Amino acid sequence: MTTKENILNTLRLHKDEFSRYGIQNIGLFGSYIRDEQSEKSDIDLLIDF
């Protein structure tokens, strides 16, 4: 199962690519940030352009 650390590492890995599309910030919220995720959880991201 995906972990919060996996998600954050993936976002960091692609940071330069995101900035080429005008993305200023990406925020993770929901069950993953609260460490309450399950196998049925989705990944909630807030994208700031």
**Residues recorded for the chain:** 49
Burial of 4 (0-12, 13-18, 19+ CB in 10 A): middle
What's the domain count of the chain? 1
Q: Which residues are catalytic?
A: 42, 44
Burial of 32 (0-12, 13-18, 19+ CB in 10 A): buried
Range of the domain at 17: 4-48
pTM for the model? 0.85
Residue-level pLDDT, tens digit, the chain, 49 residues: 899 999 999 999 999 999 999 999 999 999 999 999 999 999 999 999 9
35 in Cβ contact with 4 (< 8 Å) = yes
